[in-house]
Every structure is written in structure tokens, then in C-alpha cells.
Amino acid sequence: MAADGPSLKGRIVIQQCLSARLQVKPPTEEVEAEYVEINRGAVIYICFLKGADMSVVEKMAKTMMNIRLSSQENSKFVSVLDLPGDVLIVPQATLGGKAKGRMMQYHSNIAKDQGLELYGAFIKSCQEILGNCPKWKEADCTLKHGTYGNLQVLRIDTNGPYSHYFEFCHLKMENSPDWEGHSCTTFQILIPSVQGKIMAADGPSLKGRIVIKQCRSAGVQIRPTEEVEAKYVEINEGVIIYVCFLKGADMTVVEKIAKTMMNVRLSSQENSKFVSVLDLPGDVLIVPQSTLGGKAKGRMMQYHLNIAKEQGVELYHALIKSCQEILGNCPRWEEADCTLRHGTYGYLQEVLRIDTNSPLSHYFEF
């Protein structure tokens, strides 16, 4: 059956954590803010797009609870059910963004009332799957979630976020009367997308993936050896950029990533105006994250499309240099005494702590 093209209905970024804390009720003059907390497990950032329905919700829940993304000390990967671990679900409408020039547009996002309904259904579906797992229940694990529509004030500690990105779509098949109930999880398979725009199957091939979040502070380990004491770099208010290069990536991709990440308006100010990290001005932390190149096969992830390590190292350092040049040529950024820090390519990215008054997660493909 020929495909009429997948229609994107939802996006998820999932990261493993050692602990996480999320504000679910902002403070008032009379009452302090309320928070939920989890221990070791997974943080799921979720966004619903126009046309999403219960079939997509069920597919999302089943995939997130069963896919093997959590690492163990023996380097074996297991699901959050088998870990077993806690789960924190964070609504993240910004994942539906699409770049237009330096601005982000969210025209593909689902209406707020529909998103709230699907968000509640997703939580319920995850709870049912987890509740039916004896191992998870016996471990006294928990599921917590953020408040839909609120600012997601978040703190997360991790021994390596192992960030993974998922897309969920309806795939219309000719001569298939029940195509609307068929959800498929897409990565760079089927039809690639660039900056959130669905392209034809013979369109541009995917060369890089970025997840960018704003933060109040963050730190990453850069010297993870047993012989020498661990060393860390830290930043204050600014952005964290998780980067992954795929096969075929070259310097033109690096330059495009650097120019986009430094200039696109993603950082929020108190007046609700969005500005670039140059105009904020803010610090920058670049974190290599090869897991963003993952592609699901059953319950496992495969990374066959990732670039070779030696090429990745070269492009990673070129990206850092390119970002430094753009930032260094901005008088406002220089005068604010801001800084750029980065993780070590090829090592476990043990992010000490990320504190944010709302991560405003965005996803980009190049």
C-alpha cells in the first residue's frame, strides 16, 4: 500500500535522571509553591500537535513505558518498568515549534483544551501500564506529572541524560479504511523532517539533531576518570544545547547549527518577550548527545545513523569554535561577561544539575 505521508501528531523528548523536582502550583502571597519529586527514573517532555487523538496517546504511553532507554551499571539498557524507576511527565508545548527566520511559530500545536484532555489521558494510560507491572509496584516507584499550561519550574540531576527524541504520526495508507487508528513512531525513518517541516521522501537527508533548553544554572562533568578527581564546568542563566551529528554531516551543517542556535529567539524574559542567547545575554553549555540519533526497533534503540566517533569529535569542536566566534563578535554578550562551556565528546555526560524556571524545550533538525 502506498503511503500518503505521515501526519505528525506528537513529540516526546525523554531523559533519564537520578532525581527531579517540578513545580505544580506557583506561589501566591498566602501560599508557598507546591512541588512533586521523583528519584531515579525518566523525565518525559511531551507535546501534542493538531489532529492528535486517543490512538496516539495509547501509542505514546506504550512506547515510553516499554522502550529500553535506562542504563544500568552493567551497561545494559532496560525500560522504566524493568529498572524499575520513577516517572515524571512534563507538558512541553514548545516542542511543537517551527523556526521561521529568528522566530519560533507554534501553529501546529493542538488547542489548549484538547491538549489538556490528551495530557490527562496520557498520564492515566502510563499509570495503568505501570500499575500492571508487579516489579514496578513492589519497588514502590511513583509517577508524577506537571500542570498543563503552567510554567514548568524544574530541577533535574542525572548521571547521563541519554536524551532520546520521538515523533508519533498517523500514516494514511491507500485502501486501508482504518488508517486513522494506525499510529507509528517515527524517527528519521519514513520521511525526514527539517526544522519541523515534513518533507517529501526524496527531500534533504538528516545530518544533525539539536534539543535546546533554557536554564537558570547547569553543570556537566568533563573529566570522568577513576585516576583523577572529576572536573566540572558550570553556567548560569542561559541555554543548554544537546547536539548529535549523523552520517554525512559536514562543516556546512556545523555552521548552520551554530548560526541558528545563537540567533533564534528561544529565551524568555520577565516581560514574556523572547530573545536570542546573544540578546539575553546568557551563558551557553554545549553537551554532546549521540543518543539523539537513535531509531527504535521494537523495544530497543539502534544508532546506525550516527556519525563515526572521530568525525563527530571534529565536528563537535568545530561547532564549539563557531559558536564562540559568533558570541565573541557580539559586544553585548562580551560586556555581560557571559561564558560558553562544553562537555567532553565520547564520555558519559554526567550533568550535575539543571535548574530552570521553565525549560522551554525546542527540537531542531538539520
pLDDT single digits (tens) 268-324: 877 678 999 999 999 999 999 999 999 888 899 999 999 999 999 999 999 999 999
pLDDT digit string, tens, across residues 171-212: 554 444 433 333 344 433 232 333 333 333 334 589 999 999
pLDDT on residue 237? 96
16 vs 84: CA distance, rounded Å: 12
Residues 237-260 have a mean pLDDT of 97
Residue 14 CB coordination number (10 Å): 23
Cα–Cα–Cα angle for 245, 250, 252, nearest 5°? 115
Q: What are phi and psi of 320, to 5 degrees?
A: -60, -45
pLDDT on residue 351? 72
Among 11, 365, 361, 46, CA closest to 185: 11
Task: Kindly state the DSSP code that residue 308 receives in the 8-state scheme.
Answer: P
Residue 12 CB coordination number (10 Å): 22
94 vs 112: CA distance, rounded Å: 13
Residue 122: its H or E element: helix 112-131
pLDDT on residue 193? 32
Q: What are phi and psi of 43, to 5 degrees?
A: -110, 125
85 vs 75: CA distance, rounded Å: 16
What single-letter amino acid sits at 220? V
The helix/strand/coil state of 289 is coil
Q: How many residues does the chain have?
A: 366
DSSP 96-114: G-EEETTEEE-TTBPPHHH
pLDDT on residue 183? 37
pLDDT on residue 271? 66
Decide which of 158 and 223 is more confident: 158
Say what percent of the chain tops pLDDT 70: 87
Distance of CA 141 to the CA centre of its chain: 23
Confidence band of 151 (pLDDT split at 50, 70, 90): confident
pLDDT on residue 190? 30
pLDDT digit string, tens, across residues 328-345: 999 999 999 999 999 999
